[in-house]
Copies of this chain bind each other. A is one copy, B any other.
């Protein structure tokens, strides 16, 4: 039975009159979240108090929910754990991976990576000191740049600006051939299309949940460590929750079993409760159906905008295999155009210097939404509506 996307759409609480094409930045509110969160607050924290750690299963949430996320990214059970932010998880993955390739000191990444990943890698190599370096090449040059100085290849599968997608299985193959490990950032992949970490030979992977997994602003991140690496990966952020026996309160650290060692501090229970409820949306969703429907929506948008807005230059590859679940256009007045769109209820976002981004997911976007979005954008372009001064005021967060 094919996935019923009218049914999943009904699971979201979308404001009247809004077409939300920014789930690639922050997913909308699943209807199940408010009540689940209220229960976690009143019936668990409020009523159970400290006993919630045992009675409400708080302590197991990072790995229990990790297994729910694992199913969506083709990961083995027991290989994903939740916690912290994506930036912290990138640091953890890089620090562990670097130590597993002795004699090499280079992290290789690309200029299409999300800047925070590059900042984190830069911070890590500065901490490690002499000889350690971050090398950054153009996205299309990554595979060719993996030489025998490279310990770790760190790439974000989907470019946050253009939506261009790396061939991760191929990168993993080449990295392994050259003796390097791969850290795979799934920020714009998890929940956006089928990901097959186990099949494609991933070593480490990290991701966030507040985009296509709809966990809410600043929701918990996740980390994946391939089962073959888990026993050998030293958790460089060795907090008590990653200890083999946190409640023994030993003075010495002993890494926990398997993926548990990648836990750091006390888990964020309220945020995990919101995420847990948000993941219910995925029951009954087939990832192949999701991909087919997402591509159909994207193609409809590309064709519609192409026909009606000659001034907008497509920044996303047309080849299905070479893109994720977002479509981007370039225009020198991109910021003001996006403000005009948002003022008319079509929400996408802008990335400097000239990118208009639109995220697509059939979970809550349908063909009618896309048609209306195209129409609204066409009106703005036809009337040069973006010229109005109110659309040129800059907010702190773009």
Contact = CB atoms under 8 A, between A and B. Distances in A.
A171 to B, nearest CB: 20
A91 to B, nearest CB: 6
Interface string A87-130: 11001000100000000000000010011101110111011110
A46 B13 contact: yes
B396 A54 contact: yes
B88 A264 contact: yes
Contact of A119 (B116, B124, B240, B347): B240
A248 interface: yes
A49 to B, nearest CB: 6
B266 A235 contact: no
A391 interface: no
A116 B42 CA distance: 29
Nearest to A264: B87
A120 B235 CA distance: 10
Q: Which of A86, A116, A395 has the most CB of B within 10 A?
A: A116
A84 B88 contact: yes
A59 B396 contact: yes
Interface stretch (A20-28, A70-78, A194-202, A309-317): A20-28
A25 to B, nearest CB: 5
Given A28-B46, A54-B397, A59-B396, A237 B123 contact: yes
Nearest to A99: B127
B53 A265 contact: no
Task: Give the number of times this chain occurs in the complex, counting copies.
Answer: 2
Contact of A397 (B95, B247, B264): B247
B216 A41 contact: yes
B251 A136 contact: yes
A18 interface: yes
A96 B118 CA distance: 19
Contacts of A397: 53-54, 59, 247
A156 B237 CA distance: 19
**Which of the four size classes fits the interface of chain A?**
35 or more
Contacts of A120: 237-239
A349 B268 CA distance: 21
Contacts of A250: 115
A269 interface: yes
Interface string A306-329: 000000000000000000000000
Contacts of A95: 127
B46 A29 contact: yes
A332 interface: no
A174 interface: no
A376 interface: no
Interface string A16-52: 0010101001101100011001100110111101111
Nearest to A86: B265
Interface of A: 13, 15, 18, 20, 22, 25-26, 28-29, 33-34, 37-38, 41-42, 44-47, 49-54, 58-59, 83-88, 91, 95, 111, 114-116, 118-120, 122-124, 126-129, 136, 208, 210, 216-221, 234-241, 243, 247-253, 264-272, 274, 342, 347, 349, 351-352, 395-398
7 contacts: A15-B47, A29-B46, A45-B216, A91-B237, A119-B239, A119-B240, A270-B270
